[in-house]
Amino acid sequence: QTVLVTGTNGYLGTQVSLAFLEAGYTVRGTARSLEKAKNWIAKFPMHEKNFEIAVVPDLTGEHAYDQAIVGVDVVVHTASPVNVASIKDNEQDMLLPAIWGTRNLLVATKLEPSIQRVVYTSSFAAVCNPPLLPHAGHMYTDDSWNPATYDEAKASDNPFFVYCASKTLAEQEVWKYIKENKPSWHATTICPPLILGPPLQPMSSMGSLNASLVSIWTLINGDSNHGIPETHVPALTDVRDIAKAHVLSAQKEEAKNERFLVIAHHFKNEEVIDMAAEAHSEVRDRLPDVSSFKYDASDHFRSDSTKVQKKLGFSFMPKDKSIRETIDSLLELDKKLEGY
Ligand code: NDP
């Protein structure tokens, strides 16, 4: 079977592509340029035989995916703007690529009758109500929806709000498309919180690190020496679990037309710093003191992710392993990329 993975070269796109390759699929990975796609496969030469490149320079173009979709059985859409720090224009930089990228891909599925499954990478951003965060005591479930509208997002001066709205409106495209077009394929949407775990995507410097890992890297690279940033989204899932959830969603009967909130653990930045200090004495002097920290889960939202574990039949990796391996891999990568 062939799976089209959009945004192969991204942090999650890389792990999702590898998970499908390891499960025996041929992966057709999209990237915005041939150079990015070639860099990706150069990093994973063992998969060259089962990897095809599809260059999609602009996913907002009406027929963006018409060629890439021919001959695929499964569609996985991870590509979407994530970097809130680079928003200059709410619509052009965030809302339109997220929404039209999804819409164009869905419309393109009409060209390929062999498609059986569509897996869309949504987000906790589409589940939560951002202005109410940390939303102490509130229970978020698979059925919770961010109530943001396009017009609110267009006018907002809060980039996080705009990102959250982009994911909400893009996921709504999936469910709307199914309702209106009744395609023969089935969809699954996956809503992860902060994704942690080793970055395997091609990178030239720590400056090109993906946004979720930047929030961890700035805790341990000395930038937080003068104050620990508030844990913006105090919930995490490991990238390898999210990748696994994508593969299982494409395979399992139980995943058909399901929306999964995929929160493995709740955490605080202080725990990350504490683990870094314990495991890496060489960075201890650049870390803030967290000795008086006491974990209190009642100060933010609660979540229920039992459905995804039950329907897909898997359990999450332990929190300590995920955080520890994130720290280890970031420090290792920094050493490797030093001087580049
Ligand atoms: P990355 O920034 O590493 O990857 C994003 C991917 O999307 C890249 O391939 C990127 O291409 C592509 N992309 C971004 N903007 C555009 C655009 N305007 N047009 C075409 N392609 C674009 O981020 P992640 O791997 O973290 O995110 C992947 C998905 O996971 C996203 O949908 C995100 O919303 C979702 N997600 C991520 C979470 C996290 O904590 N990391 C949490 C919840 C959901 P290029 O390299 O060319 O920029």
pLDDT per residue over 72-119, tens digit each? Answer: 999 999 999 999 999 999 999 999 999 999 999 999 999 999 999 999
Q: If pLDDT is split at 50, 70 and 90, which confidence band does 338 have?
A: confident
Which pLDDT score is estimated for 227?
84
pLDDT at 340 > cutoff 60: no
Q: Which residues contact 200 (CB under 8 A, 6 or more apart)?
A: 14, 15, 18, 43
29 lines ligand 1 (CB under 6 A): no
Q: Which CATH class is domain 2-198+235-266+298-314?
A: alpha beta
Cα 58 to ligand 1 centroid, rounded to whole Å: 14
121 lines ligand 1 (CB under 6 A): yes
Which pLDDT score is estimated for 339?
55
Percent of the chain past pLDDT 90, that is, above it, reads 96
* Helix locations, the chain, DSSP H: 11-22, 34-43, 96-108, 150-155, 159-181, 211-220, 239-251, 269-279, 306-312, 319-337
pLDDT at 142 > cutoff 80: yes
Which pLDDT score is estimated for 243?
98
Q: pLDDT of 291-308, one tens digit each?
A: 999 999 999 999 999 999
Q: pLDDT of 7-63, one tens digit each?
A: 999 999 999 999 999 999 999 999 999 999 999 999 999 999 999 999 999 999 999
12 lines ligand 1 (CB under 6 A): yes
41 lines ligand 1 (CB under 6 A): no
pTM surpassing 0.90? yes
Q: If pLDDT is split at 50, 70 and 90, which confidence band does 226 have?
A: confident
* Mutate which of 82, 86, 203 for ligand 1 pocket (most atoms within 8 A of beta carbon): 82
128 lines ligand 1 (CB under 6 A): no
Question: What is the interface pTM, i.e. ipTM, of the complex?
Answer: 0.99
Residue 29 corresponds to which tokens in the numbers above? Answer: 């990975």
pLDDT at 225 > cutoff 80: no
Concatenating the DSSP letter of every residue in 93-138 gives IIIHHHHHHHHHHHHHGGG-TT--EEEEE--GGGTS-GGGTT-TTP
Mean pLDDT for the chain overall: 96
Concatenating the DSSP letter of every residue in 197-250 gives S---S--SSGGG--HHHHHHHHHHSSTTTT-PPP-SS-EEEEHHHHHHHHHHHH
Cα 296 to ligand 1 centroid, rounded to whole Å: 31
